[in-house]
Amino acid sequence: MNNNSTVFEEHYDTRSIDALKIELALDPVEGSQLVAGSPCTAVQSLGEIFGVEFGLWEMSEGAMTDIEAEELFIVLAGQATVTVHAANGFEAEVFSLVPGSICHLREGMHTTWVVDQPLRKVYMAK
């Protein structure tokens, strides 16, 4: 993982970054999370505000499953479909993500991510 976690803290005069230019080190999705293709993911924490972590997350083309944390995110680039499975009291739902999509995932949701174009999002998570 690229160590940009102190972008804002290290440079006290930094108020703005280009989230699409920060390089992220992608790692292959393996094990039970892998569904199809050869997807890779990367996460880069950028700091904390109001007691909530914020950062960048990216996934290459392919499909994977996940169990979500409480998270709000905005898609910066790419295209994907997310399926929320009927589990842990959540109803099944399918939605598409494109640049500009804003999404709230709840802690404990079981999801499947199918990425058609590399997806990058800025997230806030507990």
State pLDDT tens for residues 74-84.
Answer: 999 999 999 99
Find out whether 45 and 95 touch, Cβ atoms under 8 Å: no
How many independent structural domains does the chain possess? 1
Using CA atoms, how far apart are residues 89 and 97, in angstroms rounded to an integer?
23
SS3 25: coil
State pLDDT tens for residues 28-62.
Answer: 999 999 999 999 999 999 888 899 999 999 999 99
Instruction: State pTM to two decimals.
Output: 0.88
Q: Is residue 26 part of a domain?
A: yes
| Host domain of residue 12 | 7-125
Residue 124: what pLDDT?
97
CA 113 vs. chain centroid, Å, equals 10
Q: Is residue 102 part of a domain?
A: yes
With CA atoms as reference, report the closest residue to 111 among 64, 61, 56, 73: 64
Q: Which two tokens stand for residue 124?
A: 């806030």
Using CA atoms, how far apart are residues 84 and 78, in angstroms rounded to an integer?
19
State pLDDT tens for residues 63-120.
Answer: 999 999 999 999 999 999 999 999 999 999 999 999 999 999 999 999 999 999 999 9
